[in-house]
Structure formats: C-alpha cells, structure tokens
Structure 1
Amino acid sequence: MCIVAFAWKAHPRWKMVAIGNRDELHARPAESLHRWETYDHLLAGRDAIAGGTWLGVSEEGRFAVVTNLYGFGAPQPERASRGDLLRDFLAGHGRYADLASTQYADFNPFNLITVEGDQAIIHSSRPRQESIVLEPGVHGLSNGPVDSPWPKSPHLNAQLDAWLAADRDHPEQLLDSLSDPRTFEPETVSSPPGPTELEPQHSAIFIRNPAYGTRCSTVVAIDQAGGGMILERRFAPSGEAIGESKLSFSWPNST
C-alpha cells in the first residue's frame, strides 16, 4: 500500500477501521483478495511474483499493512520481500512470524502497521528499526517517514475521522475517500520525496497512470464484538474499476 488511514479504538462501535490504496506497476501480476488455501484463516491479495501480500487479516486476530518508504536510496532487489513479513506474521508461521526477532534492515525501507490481539503497533525500518505502540485514534502512513507524513496522509486521516464522527453504518462508503485524484506540487511534499518522475502526479491519494498507479482500494472494518469485513476494489491502468471482492470474517472477542 502507498497510503493508509488507520483508526484504532476511535469509535464506540468500531475497534479498527483501515482504508488504503495500493500503488504499483500495473504490469506486476497479483491475485485479488481471497481466503488463502495454505492458511484458510488468512484473507488477503497476493503478489504473484514474490508470494507475499501488502495488506491482510487473519481470523486468529491479526492485521497488517505495509507501505514503501522513500528517501533512503533505490530498492535493492536482492533484499527479502517486504510482503513476506506480512505473510508470515498473518499466517503465524514462517521465518518472519515473530516480528520482534526480525531484522528490518534485511528489507528495503518500509512502514508497517500490525494488530495482534488487543495491541496495534507501527513499525519503521529507517532511519532505524523501531516499533511504537499506537494509542487510540486515527493514524496514517504514506511513503514518507512516520514523523514526517506526506500531505495526502493527513487529508485521508481527516476523511476517516469525519466518517467515524458521523457515526455511519456502512464502511463501504469510505471507498469514496480513496478515489480523490487531487495532487500536490513537489515542493509541498514532505522531505524526503520519492523518485522525481513519480511527482507530483503520484502524490495524489488515487493515482491514475497507465504504467504505475492505484491498483486497488481496500477497506477493513472490525467491530467491538469481532465481526469484520474486508472489501477490495480493483482498477485498470486507465483508472476504471474492473472488479470488487468482499469477505466477512470474525476475530476472537477480547473484550
């Protein structure tokens, strides 16, 4: 994902609401949101090349979403896939299932939000490895550092906050907030920026570009009783919607 707004214990009804867009090369193959055969408690899309995912939930009570982090050099293809972190954490098995013992320097730069049980944590791999427990409220990630978000990130946070304040019942409505094509001029993007050829058109919440753009929008909502839904809307290189998947799931009730 390249932008995420994340509400944690910010509403009497909703334990967690996450909304975000995945920006990627349209030519990179991916499987749409589905329940994985290898781990039937895991619901996520899958990168068809590396085998990991960018966002997912587990019915064992876990959630994870990752964004690339710009400003620390070009990606190094020999490094481990960031999607493997999410796959193993969500599955509860594999080399990276225990994030506390994982060396984030083994991966290209990233930001990561995880939920397990009754705790939400934001992780960052640069400029140093750190993990911070999140307080109740609305938080955001984009391609900038956690303490220096790109301007599109606070805007999306505000959209999610407004939806919660309106006490609405249908998380699907949040897809509208993810379709905003407005851009920011390069000088308004928080330092460090991404590759110059991706700015300013790639500083929008929704990126319409035939080569590299928004591939899918996702909404995840989990109520206080553990009832959850995950909705994914997919887009063609033209920016037109081409498919949608919605799955229901349940989390263990920790209240």
Structure 2
Amino acid sequence: MCSIILIKNSNNLIIATNRDELLDRPSESHKVRKEGNLKNFSPQDSFKGGTWLGLNEKGLFVGITNRFTPSPNKSLTSRGVLTKKALEAHSPSEALEKLSTFKAEEFNPFHLLITNRSETQILWSNGEKITQFKMLDQYFILTESSFGAGENKRLSFLKSHIEKFSADDDCEPFKKILSMKSDPSFEGPLVHMPERNYGTRSSFVIKLTPEVESSEFYYSDVPPDQNKWVDFKGIILKEKFNT
C-alpha cells in the first residue's frame, strides 16, 4: 500500500488508504481474521501471507507502505508480518512493545502506521535502522517517499486537496480524493501504470468516533474510481468491535 491519509481531532479519526501493487499479485479480500487473542478485519496477501492493513476489535488501525528503495531484496521476510503482529495489540504503545524484537535488517524498508483515536505511532525503516515517530499533528500523509525516501510529489498533491477537510467530515470526500488521478500517474493517489503491471488495487476508508454506531467503515477490492465500495459496518457491529 502506497498512500495513507490520517486526519484526527479530540474525538474522531479518519483513515483513507490506497494500496498500489503489481496487478497480478494474488490477494484475499477483507474479512474477519484473528491475530493473537484479538479479532481484526483485514485483507491478506496470498503470495507471502501478510497483510498491508487491518482494524482490530479494540479500534486499532495498522497500515504499512513500502519505503522507496532502488533494489529491494526479495529473500527478506514479508513486511506484512509487521502489520499482523501489531494487530495483536490493544493500543499503539502495546504494538510498539510487540514489534520491539524485530530488526531492520529482516525486512525491506517500510513505513508502519499504528493508530487509534487517542494515539498515533509510526515506525519507519531504511533497512538499517528502525525509527519511532509519535504523531502529534491533526493530519498526516504516508507514501513510499516519506521521511526523505525520495521526491514526494504525491504528498504535495494530497496536501493541496485535504487541507480543507476535518475529522468531523464523513467518508465521502476521502473516497473522492483516493479516486483522483494525476499525470504522471505515480504522482497522484490513483495509480494506473499497466505498462509496468502496476497500479492501485484496492482502497480502505474508515471514520472512528466515540460510538461505533456513528462510525463509518468502507473498503473496495477494485480501484476506487470504479465506485464499488463495500460498507462493512454490519460486520463490525456483529463482531462487537470497539472504536
């Protein structure tokens, strides 16, 4: 996944993500799964078994992006393992403890976002060192070029469109942002590069509020401009997730 938008205030948290990946890489759709003792709602990478995002029953969201690197090492452990491990936690702080045994050298570079309505933590790695970053701002955008990994034109594009939004908005404007294209394609949130067998494969947008009944939950297993969003709030209520 290559774009994660986070906006929060004292009550609400909105997450909007696009996953960019090889067009023929197999994956399983979003469903209720279990990591450790906690249920989560997440997709799964069929190739290596990890996941790029998930929301667990304690209201903890975890999402990962690759960090741009010219020559990734395909023999290293899947970065999706980090996401699954973090989903075992009740809070971002607990997730950091669970992840503390992992070494940067085990994985290709990454940016890992761990958040709930009250706390946001980011772990990022350049392949040699893992750095912890506690987010205190009301909004943050992660891409594969964050933290100095490269020229971040997608960040500039997204900033220019979300600066007027707040965590009191509903999910609809965020769905529209994820559907926006740019030229060159890689500089916008919706990536379409069939000549490279690469593009936006799926999307995920949630709004967490103090009451789960007033929260919003959507995913799409196809590019967001196809407008085939699935409302999974019924699943969240049935499984008694908290927010």
TM-score (norm 1): 0.77
Paired position in structure 2 for 1:235: 222
Q: How does 1:1-255 map to 2 (within 5 A)?
A: 1-9=1-9, 13-14=11-12, 16-36=13-33, 41-71=39-69, 73-92=70-89, 98-115=98-115, 118-126=118-126, 128-147=129-148, 150-164=152-166, 167-168=168-169, 170-183=170-183, 200-210=184-194, 211-225=197-211, 228-235=215-222, 241=226, 243-248=228-233, 249=236, 252=242
Q: Report the Cα distance in structure 1 between the residues aligned to 2:180 and 2:228, rounded to whole angstroms.
A: 19
Q: Tell me the secondary structure at the aligned position of residue 81 of structure 1.
A: coil
TM-score (norm 2): 0.81
CA contact (8 A) 1:172 1:219 kept: no
Comparing 155-164 with 126-135, which one deviates more in the overlay? 155-164
One-letter amino acid of the structure 1 residue matched with residue 29 of structure 2: S
CA drift at 1:26? 1.2
CA contact (8 A) 1:6 1:157 kept: no
CA drift at 1:252? 4.7
The one-character-per-residue Cα deviations of 1:38-78 (angstroms, maximum 9, x if unpaired) are 7772011111111111111101232111111113x411111
Q: Report the Cα distance in structure 2 between the residues aligned to 1:234 and 1:161, rounded to whole angstroms.
A: 27
Q: Label 1:215 to 1:97 Cα distance change in 2 as closer, same or farther (>3 A).
A: farther
One-letter amino acid of the structure 2 residue matched with residue 49 of structure 1: F
**TM-align CA RMSD:** 2.8
- The count of residues paired between Structure 1 and Structure 2 equals 227
One-letter amino acid of the structure 2 residue matched with residue 153 of structure 1: L
User: Which runs of 5 or more residues in structure 1 are unaligned?
Assistant: 184-199
One-letter amino acid of the structure 1 residue matched with residue 154 of structure 2: K
User: Which runs of 5 or more residues in structure 2 are unaligned?
Assistant: 91-95
Comparing 115-124 with 239-248, which one deviates more in the overlay? 239-248
The one-character-per-residue Cα deviations of 1:183-209 (angstroms, maximum 9, x if unpaired) are 3xxxxxxxxxxxxxxxx4323211123
One-letter amino acid of the structure 2 residue matched with residue 46 of structure 1: Q
Q: Report the Cα distance in structure 1 between the residues aligned to 2:225 and 2:179, rounded to whole angstroms.
A: 11
Q: Runs of at least 4 residues of structure 1 off by over 4 A?
A: 37-40, 250-253
Identity %: 23
CA contact (8 A) 2:179 2:225 kept: no
Q: Report the Cα distance in structure 2 between the residues aligned to 1:28 and 1:242, rounded to whole angstroms.
A: 22
Q: Tell me the secondary structure at the aligned position of residue 146 of structure 2.
A: coil
Q: Tell me the secondary structure at the aligned position of residue 65 of structure 2.
A: strand
One-letter amino acid of the structure 2 residue matched with residue 209 of structure 1: M
Q: Tell me the secondary structure at the aligned position of residue 47 of structure 2.
A: coil
